[in-house]
């Protein structure tokens, strides 16, 4: 094997792993841990293990998405987004299957270690084992299987649930040992921001997805309402954080997330007024940065409170 081919294949695997998506996946764990610290329940070892588990789930989802889209023919030359390893022909189905099996095993091991570390009650152990299994199944079946839910426009609600409600509230519960409804506003905000990232991705690929039968919510809504929906996602996330800061924090530091508003506003205005799918290409990275900045500023503000 030539050095050039080896380097190309390594780069293809890195592209399929999509390391740039990891910070956003970890943001929900940081938010949940910040809320635990705010309530004097923070446990560093549990937080670190939760970060590892979240990273493994995100990697599993990324590889499964590449595999599912490639075998269904959704990743074509007309797709605006970056070409992945399978699409380029540098990674074959058998190799991706082996990688998926390895990542599934590592994800299960990480999840079991997290549960063993954090859960003391039998009902908690059973509950989080069930949630972990559900998360793994959801990561795979987004694009894999006879009826992948990502092809039916259900990806957005899945992201809200897993990247928002379950990630933030679950991280808080694992450290606190109890559930508090106060975490649901930040959890919803975190989930809406992650959903906005998915929506930008789908707006970018809207034409290719429509042609290949991938009926994402953006495809179902159409370009105009898909952009209005994007604005509502961002507005909804900020509203949740404003309400939480207003009624629960009552501290100046709780408003640090406001510093991210100008970036989110400029992003939202651009998306609303640029009707082409090609124009969404640079917006994905910008949306990831905006969501990450908002979450980090909010987490810092909560801890300072």
At residue 143, the pLDDT reads 83
At residue 84, the pLDDT reads 65
Instruction: List pLDDT tens digits, range 80-104.
Output: 656 666 777 778 888 889 999 999 9
Instruction: List pLDDT tens digits, range 12-21.
Output: 888 888 888 8
At residue 15, the pLDDT reads 82
Q: Over range 161-190, report the average pLDDT.
A: 96
Write down the domain spans for the chain.
11-17+24-304
- The tokens describing 189, both together, are 């905000």
At residue 70, the pLDDT reads 79
Q: What angle do CA 11, 148, 82 make, to 5 degrees?
A: 25
Contacts of 26 (CB under 8 A, 6+ apart): 51, 54, 55
Instruction: List pLDDT tens digits, range 21-55.
Output: 888 889 999 999 999 999 999 999 999 999 999 99
pLDDT confidence tier of residue 273, bands split at 50, 70 and 90: very high
Given a cut of 90, whether residue 235 has pLDDT beyond it is yes
Burial class of 2 by CB neighbour count within 10 A (0 to 12, 13 to 18, 19+)? exposed
- Long-range own/partner contacts, residues 32-35 (CB < 8 A, 24 or more apart): 32/167, 32/168, 32/169, 32/170, 32/171, 32/172, 32/175, 32/183, 32/187, 33/171, 33/172, 33/175, 33/299, 34/298, 34/299, 34/300, 34/302, 34/303, 35/168, 35/172, 35/182, 35/183, 35/186, 35/302
Given a cut of 70, whether residue 76 has pLDDT beyond it is no
Please tell me the pTM assigned to this model: 0.91
At residue 251, the pLDDT reads 86
């Amino acid at each position: 094997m030539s050095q050039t081919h080896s380097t190309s294949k390594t780069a293809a695997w890195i592209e399929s792993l999509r390391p740039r998506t990891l910070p956003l996946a970890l943001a929900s764990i940081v938010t949940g841990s910040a809320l635990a610290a705010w309530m004097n329940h923070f446990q560093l070892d549990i937080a670190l293990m939760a970060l590892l588990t979240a990273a493994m789930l995100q990697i599993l989802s990324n590889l499964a998405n590449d595999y599912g889209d490639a075998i269904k023919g959704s990743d074509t030359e007309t797709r605006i987004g970056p070409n992945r390893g399978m699409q380029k022909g540098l990674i074959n189905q058998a190799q991706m299957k082996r990688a998926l099996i390895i990542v599934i095993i590592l994800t299960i091991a990480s999840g079991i270690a997290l549960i063993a570390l954090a859960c003391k009650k039998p009902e908690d152990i059973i509950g989080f084992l069930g949630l972990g299994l559900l998360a793994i199944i959801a990561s795979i079946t987004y694009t894999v299987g006879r009826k992948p839910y990502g092809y039916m426009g259900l990806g957005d609600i899945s992201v809200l649930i897993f990247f928002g409600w379950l990630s933030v509230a679950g991280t808080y519960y694992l450290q606190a040992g109890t559930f508090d409804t106060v975490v649901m506003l930040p959890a919803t905000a975190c989930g809406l921001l992650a959903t906005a990232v998915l929506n930008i991705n789908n707006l970018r690929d809207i034409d290719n997805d429509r042609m290949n039968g991938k009926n994402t919510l953006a495809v179902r809504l159409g370009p105009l309402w898909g952009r209005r929906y994007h604005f509502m996602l961002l507005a909804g996330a900020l509203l949740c954080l404003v309400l939480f800061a207003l009624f629960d924090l009552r501290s100046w530091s709780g408003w640090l997330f406001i510093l991210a508003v100008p970036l989110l506003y400029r992003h939202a205005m651009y998306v609303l007024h640029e009707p082409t799918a090609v124009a969404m290409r640079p917006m994905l990275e910008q949306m990831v940065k905006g969501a990450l900045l908002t979450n980090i500023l909010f987490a810092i503000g909560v801890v300072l409170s």
